[in-house]
Amino acid sequence: MASHGICDQVAIIGMGCTTFGEHWDRSADDLILDAVSSTTASAGVALEDVDAFWLGTYLSGVSGLSLSRPLRLRGKPVTRVENMCTTGSEALRNACYAVASGAYDMAMAVGVEKLKDSGYSGLLRHSIPSDATGGTLGTTTAPANFSLLGPAYAEKYGVDSDELKTVLTRIAWKNHRNGASNPRAQFRKEVSLETISRSPLVAGQLGIFDCSGVSDGASAAIVVPAKDAHRYTDNPLYVKALSLVSGAADGNVDPGYDFTSFPEVVASARNAYAEASVVDPRTEIAMAEVHDCFTVTELVLMEDLGFVDRGTAWKAVLSGTFDLDGELPVNPDGGLKAFGHPVGASGLRMLFECWLQLRGEAPEDRRIGTLVEGKKLGLTHNLGGGPGECVSFVSIVGTELNS
């Protein structure tokens, strides 16, 4: 058995994204309406033209009614999905496969989350004992779980502790610098390397500026069969790969797991590259939006996604490989770190940056230079859970159909 994928069978014809941040005066319904209206306007279609809807939300709704109510939908199928931090990407995956199957001519994926006025200072979490969030990770916080990656990486690859801190600081600096020029980002201010390195510690080596923002926001996309894309836009994005992998969640009880990799990410990336016929991601991918819930996560992901060899990502970070003007820009919109992380919306927000960059619509001051070199593919990556037990999603999109 194999995952054959749906390369070039589905196209994205419209996208929209709200600002992410502290929307104390706006409800989840308000955010949905904003994202959906901008998406239909982008595609030049009416809401009535959409045949089916998928809503991704972690804890800001419990059924399809969470979308059909604010949109005043009648007689349309609406499915609510949740898969931890890959929730928005899960909505997209379902909408794309529904269109690829021929069941619908047009589908919409919507992601939304309200976290700031939830009463919690961090991300909400389910308390179902049998679920991954109540598994071997127990009641430890997300920063504590992910902080284990740093010392494990440093020991395995012989990186000095102070050097590793410098690497993590530079990742945060890069993403804040990118977010500073993004009008939709939660944090739109550059932060100096000195300020980042001296910020109060949260867990292990992770300081405040090593942790992603908690925010409110929504994003959406409309997909149609690839053969119909040019009926709606001259610049569609073609879906090359959609890969979701769920792990066995046994890493934290497996003596062989060393906290320097996410096996689920490796597997989902391998599947995505096979579906999209990508042989060398470092030279073929124009940009990547990755799940930088913590700076050390982004470091490890550079190796898990095959952008660099094992044990070398820290050197690539320091050399500027993943900067906006680098060989492979990573998180040009600021990432979770600066853009924010409303769980249900994050996956689609990443795709929205691909939509802007690959179509040449990103603001000039944060436009990637790799498109000039002939690269035409964008990658998004989400993970949900933590080291040793997570789900991972990788998508690849492009501006041209494979010949």
In the DSSP assignment, the letter for residue 237 is E
Pairing of strands 201-203, 78-81: unpaired
Q: pLDDT tens-digit profile of 12-50?
A: 999 999 999 999 999 999 999 999 999 999 999 999 999
Q: Which residues contact 50 (CB under 8 A, 6 or more apart)?
A: 40, 76, 106, 107, 108, 222
Tokens representing residue 132 in the block: 């991954």
Share of residues in the chain with pLDDT > 90 (%):
89
pLDDT attached to residue 126: 54
For each of the domains in the chain, give its residue range(s) and CATH number, in order of start. 10-115+216-231 (3.40.47.10), 142-190+237-397 (3.40.47.10)
pLDDT surpasses 80 at 120 = no
Active site residues: 85, 341
Written as one letter, the residue type at 343 is V
pLDDT band at 4 (very low <50, low <70, confident <90, very high): confident
- What gap in Å lies between CA 285 and CA 362, rounded to an integer? 17
The SS3 of residue 301 is: helix
> Model pTM?
0.95
* Residue 181 reports pLDDT greater than 80: yes
Compute the radius of gyration of the chain from its Cα atoms. 20
The count of C-alpha atoms lying within 13 angstroms of the C-alpha of 120, restricted to the half-sphere facing its C-beta, is 13
Quick one: average pLDDT of 338-353?
A: 97
With a cut of 90, say whether residue 131 has pLDDT above it.
Answer: no
- How does pLDDT run across 192-251, given as a tens digit for each residue? 999 999 999 999 999 999 999 889 999 999 999 999 999 999 999 999 999 999 999 998
